[in-house]
Structure 1
Amino acid sequence: MTVKTLRVIMVTLLAFLLVTPVANATPRYHRYVALGDSYTSGPGILWPRLDRLACYTSTNNYPALLADNLGLRSYTDGSCGGADTTNMLTPQTPPLPFGTHPAQFSFLRPDTDLVTIGIGGNDFGVFGQLTSKCPELRPTDPGGSPCRSFHVVDGVDTMKQKVAMTGDRVRAVLAGVHERSPSAKVLLVGYPRIAPPRGNCPSVLPIADGDLRWLDDVEQALNSALAKAAADDGRTTFVDMYPASLGHDACAGRAAWIQGKDNNLFTAIQYHPFKSGMVGVANQISKVLGVRGGAHERAVPRSVDKAVVGDASTVTLLTRSGHGR
């Protein structure tokens, strides 16, 4: 290698170091708490946290990946599958017989400096109704919208009505977070799109053609209600995953962030995010926070060390050798 070549390499390397942000330099946040439902906890995504089996909590969910992006050595994940806004104040008894999950607000501390919240889809049974009743009704009118017709009562779309009420609940949740962690940066995370903007894929989403458009409308209404709750709160930033997930709906094949009708206990349960979806959310949140998104899908589980502080489980991030990084 000539001196001239070596000089060019050194100059190029120096320029790269000067313009490339370091994801794990001095962390801007130190006490991160994640709250939410199954779109936060990550059911079916390898690898599960053995201390949180009842909540279907994955070590590859977006709180874990975001903590990596932020260079944090520990974080607290209070999310739980099946949670709705009432479980911020009320303990939750998941369907699996592994005990009771504490009220999610119990994970917050006065010195918490970053909070992400992904909640609202389960309130008033909206998500469950869409993903159970709509496939059930498809055979009655595959090209129509039997599910929408079922949920429109006396001219009122009851699903959109419930979504509007959910916005009020979420606004109260945000106030509760600020009360308990007054100095925290608070992010309300929206839901990624499930249905495609056009077309269908009945082998993946067995929902009538017209109901796919309606389901998408309901999801947009939910995200709009969440965005309004954050705006009305005035101290919360909304992370809009709907536009960010364009091209990654359940019908998008290998590009999909969302599982379709099938349950796979190694990738995702039905109608829930894959690891790729969690990566997308973590990187979008990182972008909102102004840090480089570098989340990736882990091939092996990272080591975790659980420390119990009151009711809160804090996960310490370790390298494969077991030493904190």
Structure 2
Amino acid sequence: MTQRTRRLPNTYRVATAAAVAGTALLSLAAPTQAAPDGPNYVAMGDSYASGAGLSKVKDTACDRTTGSYPTTLSGTPAGKNRAFKDVTCSGATTRSIWNHQGSTPPQINALTPNTKLVTLTIGGNDIGFTDVLATCALVAFSDPDGSPCKKYFTNGKDVLGERINTLEGRVGGVITDIRRHSPDAKIVVVGYPALFPDNGVGCAEVPFARQDFAFLRDTTKKLNRALARRAAAGGTGVVYADTYTPTIGHDMCQPRDRRFIESLAPAKGTMAAHPNSLGQFVMAAAAYDRIINS
């Protein structure tokens, strides 16, 4: 890595401070107390919540790591004295909430009437985002300056838009079922960060056609808007945590020392197109703000 000689942007310094603060909170938090009839804080969701790709793996099958935003939250005042249960799992879809994911039990099984806090990050796998990225890279050669991936997914119908519409209803069902199992829980629907440049201008390191960066940015925003609507419709005690805004300018196209999201050629100890350690801290900070200020 090259030596840094320039002043770091304010947004990066703020995020770094948040990460340091999160580390301090982890070290100062009181030991978690066992709940008499189940965990007080349950983390649910996919690889963006499990901290996939980071070091210190605590569950190999689901790629859960200690660097995940739920683990960070569990050590802050929001998780203080709450028994913590992490059932996040890489590859999870909304089906994984109610059904086994391989040998992993349904995530909903972790909830009890005693659960007081639930964080949920879900939906990316429902719309097939991994396959979308692979397709965008595959078709890029056919029109490097155009938007061949957008054409692929909007040829006669808006494929991804329809998937997001379907997902929105399913997330509503997930929220309803969480409330049924844990009527007193605060539910925090945690959105997805800015994977792609918010200005729509791409980079050579990420092998997509030039205009497809804007298409992928817009798809991420559509997904987040759907999640935010479901949270707003969930009633009292359901909130949405925006992780997109605080990660603008730290997408996979940024220099390595500014990224919160890894590129398709990730650094060691990270996963392609996923939050790195600092990105997970920023997601934790966004969720924490909604927990204590709503």
Q: What's the counterpart of residue 259 of structure 1?
A: 262
Q: Mean Cα displacement is larger for which, 231-240 or 207-216? A: 231-240
Work out the CA distance in 2 between the residues paired with 1:219 and 1:124: 10
Does residue 120 of structure 2 align to residue 117 of structure 1?
yes
Q: How does 1:34-49 map to 2 (within 5 A)?
A: 34-49=43-58
Q: How does 1:1-325 map to 2 (within 5 A)?
A: 31-49=40-58, 52-70=59-77, 72=80, 74-93=83-102, 100-125=103-128, 127-154=129-156, 156-198=157-199, 199-203=201-205, 205-235=206-236, 236-253=238-255, 254-263=257-266, 266-290=268-292
Matching residue's letter, 1:57: R
Matching residue's letter, 2:53: G
Matching residue's letter, 2:61: A
Q: Report how far residue 89 of structure 1 moved.
A: 0.6
Q: What's the counterpart of residue 314 of structure 1?
A: none
Q: Which 4+ runs in 1 deviate beyond 2 A?
A: 22-27, 70-74
* 1:195 and 1:216 in contact (8 A); partners too: yes
- SS of equivalent residue, structure 1 residue 186: strand
Q: Report how far residue 263 of structure 1 moved.
A: 4.8
Work out the CA distance in 2 between the residues paired with 1:25 and 1:104: 26
Q: Report how far residue 26 of structure 1 moved.
A: 7.9
Work out the CA distance in 1 between the residues paired with 2:155 and 2:29: 55
Matching residue's letter, 2:197: P
Work out the CA distance in 2 between the residues paired with 1:113 and 1:223: 24
Work out the CA distance in 1 between the residues paired with 2:191 and 2:92: 15
Q: Report how far residue 202 of structure 1 moved.
A: 2.1
What TM-score comes out, normalization by structure 1 length?
Answer: 0.75
Matching residue's letter, 2:62: C
Show structure 2 runs of 5+ residues with no match. Answer: 1-23
Identity %: 33
Show structure 1 runs of 5+ residues with no match. Answer: 1-21, 94-99, 292-325
Q: What's the counterpart of residue 96 of structure 1?
A: none
Q: Mean Cα displacement is larger for which, 170-179 or 229-238? A: 229-238
Work out the CA distance in 2 between the residues paired with 1:161 and 1:209: 24
- SS of equivalent residue, structure 2 residue 71: helix
What TM-score comes out, normalization by structure 2 length?
Answer: 0.83
Q: Report how far residue 165 of structure 1 moved.
A: 1.2
Work out the CA distance in 1 between the residues paired with 2:252 and 2:142: 22
Matching residue's letter, 2:138: E
Work out the CA distance in 1 between the residues paired with 2:52 and 2:30: 31
- SS of equivalent residue, structure 2 residue 136: helix
Q: Mean Cα displacement is larger for which, 107-116 or 255-264? A: 255-264
Q: Number of residues paired by the alignment?
A: 259
- SS of equivalent residue, structure 2 residue 285: helix
Matching residue's letter, 1:33: V
Work out the CA distance in 2 between the residues paired with 1:124 and 1:54: 22
Q: Identify if the C-alpha distance between structure 1 residues 44 and 26 changes in structure 2 by more than 3 Å, giving closer, same or farther.
A: closer
- SS of equivalent residue, structure 1 residue 64: helix
Work out the CA distance in 2 between the residues paired with 1:273 and 1:38: 9
Matching residue's letter, 2:92: A
- Highest CA radius of gyration, 1 or 2? 1
Work out the CA distance in 2 between the residues paired with 1:83 and 1:122: 7
* 1:131 and 1:271 in contact (8 A); partners too: no
Work out the CA distance in 1 between the residues paired with 2:116 and 2:204: 44
Q: Report how far residue 272 of structure 1 moved.
A: 0.9
Q: Report how far residue 124 of structure 1 moved.
A: 4.0
Work out the CA distance in 1 between the residues paired with 2:76 and 2:143: 46
- SS of equivalent residue, structure 1 residue 120: coil
What RMSD in Å do the two structures reach over aligned CA positions? Answer: 2.2
Q: Mean Cα displacement is larger for which, 214-223 or 266-275? A: 266-275
* 1:112 and 1:184 in contact (8 A); partners too: yes
